[in-house]
Amino acid sequence: MDIRGHAAVVTGGGSGLGAATARRLAAAGARVAVLDVNMDAAQGVASEVGGIAVRCDVSDADAAAAALAEARAAHGAARLLVNCAGIGVAKRILGREGPQALGDFERVIRVNLVGSFNMLRLAVADMSTLEPLEDGERGLVVSTASVAAYEGQVGQAAYSASKAGIVGLTLPAARELAQFGIRVMAIAPGLFFTPMMQGLPEEVQASLGASVPFPRRLGKPEEFADLVLTCAENRALNGEVIRLDGALRLPPR
Ligand code: NAD
């Protein structure tokens, strides 16, 4: 799909991979709604790209429906949903204080996995009402997994499980939504230079970057955004998770 002139929704669009995606989609001519729990961040990106900012907690059914309604009122139903909202919490299953609190595990699953599904189910309801384009295509959803879905490290049980859930969701969703001409893709990034990483000491950033076979550095958010656009443009991509990691395979710790 040529995204020009179409509406797109980017969750977690106030920062990092989502912000880069919002910029890339706007540059390609999309009308972009930037959804985030952090309204200041969303507003900053939205005003930069000529889009709209909408406050949204992706894990809340009512808030997500209201946010999509607001985006729809401004831009029309979205042809593209990009799920970038996510949290990463490192905690051992059995630490010094005993077993991990169940609430910690639930929260990561709630935001990363339930949140991505929540946005998907609501966005595709809108998409299914749109006029079909070439090949009968109505739209697509691109969610963000992680290489931790495959090689989760010590401390990443909840995060890895949440991202593995996104991997598992991708094919059945693509199969089911094919009848509406809606594609479902996911991207599994390796290590990317986003605010999450920028908070780490420089030598840690450098050593993480050096662990990537090639290119020997952290990924650029723009490289993630480029792949989102490729997913939109290439209709043969469907039901698949693409690793974007410079051949990185995470070690156990
Ligand atoms: P980031 O922290 O820079 O951005 C995440 C954004 O999501 C923030 O603006 C935050 O406010 C928002 N957010 C958090 N919880 C939310 C909620 N409940 N509802 C709506 N918005 C919410 O992080 P990032 O590095 O850009 O990561 C984006 C996605 O990519 C995440 O899903 C992350 O797990 C995934 N990822 C990142 C990397 C990396 O190296 N940076 C690697 C693999 C996967």
Q: Which of 21, 54, 57, 159 is catalytic?
A: 159
Q: Exposed e or buried b for every residue in 196-218, given b needs 16+ CB within 10 A?
A: ebeeeeeeebeebbebbeeeeeb
pLDDT of residue 172: 99
156-213: pLDDT as tens digits: 999 999 999 999 999 999 999 999 999 999 999 999 999 978 877 788 888 889 999 9
209 ligand 1 Cβ < 6 A: no
pLDDT of residue 198: 82
Among 148, 137, 145, smallest CA distance to 237 is for: 137
Model confidence at 247: pLDDT above 90: yes
Task: Describe the chain by its helix, strand, coil percentages, rounded to 5.
Answer: 45, 15, 35
150 assigned to active site: no
39 ligand 1 Cβ < 6 A: no
Domains and CATH numbers, the chain: 7-193+221-244 (3.40.50.720)
110-144: pLDDT as tens digits: 999 999 999 999 999 999 999 999 999 999 999 99
190-204: pLDDT as tens digits: 999 999 788 777 888
pLDDT of residue 148: 97
Closest atom of ligand 1 to 145 CA is: 44
